[in-house]
Amino acid sequence: MDDTYPLAFRLGIPKPLSCKVLEGEPRVGNTRQCTTDRGYIQQEIVELVADRKLVYEMRDTNVWCRKWVSFLQDTFLLEPIEGDKTRVRRITEFKGVPSIPVVSTLALWFSLRQAHRYAAKNWRRLSSQMKQLR
C-alpha cells in the first residue's frame, strides 16, 4: 500500500497494509491474513475458482471493531475484458452484532467502505506499475 494516511484512518479505522495466504497457496480451507496498522484479520478461503472467483469469511481478528462483527464475507468476481484487462467486482456481506445492530452495522459499513476503497486504489496503482514494467 502507499504511504498516504487518509482522514478515515486517522479517526481509528484500520488502514490496510498487506494481505497474504499463510499456507503459501490460495486453496479452500487456507487462511488469508490481512495486516492493518491496528492488527490483523484472518479469513478462511471458502470458495475458489481459479481466475474467476474467490470467497473468504472472517474467522479471527484482533482489531478494535471485532466485537461489532458477527459475520463478514468477501467475494471477488473476476471477468476478463478487452485485451489483457480484468474487471474485478468485490461483494462484501456483513452483519453487526445483535446487541447494537444499527450502530454496529453503520460503523462497519463506513469502515469497510473506506478500507476497501483505499485498497482498490492501491491495487489499480500497482497493476498500472506492473504493466509499465512489461
pLDDT of residue 69: 84
pLDDT of residue 60: 94
**pTM of the shown model:** 0.77
Given the DSSP bridges, would you call strands 16-21 and 69-81 parallel, antiparallel or unpaired?
unpaired
Q: Residue 31: is it exposed, middle or buried by C-beta count within 10 angstroms (0-12/13-18/19+)?
A: middle
Within 10 angstroms of residue 91's Cβ, the number of other Cβ atoms is: 10
- The domains of the chain, with CATH numbers, are 7-129 (3.30.530.20)
pLDDT of residue 16: 86
pLDDT in tens, 13-25: 888 888 999 999 9
Q: Residue 56: is it exposed, middle or buried by C-beta count within 10 angstroms (0-12/13-18/19+)?
A: buried
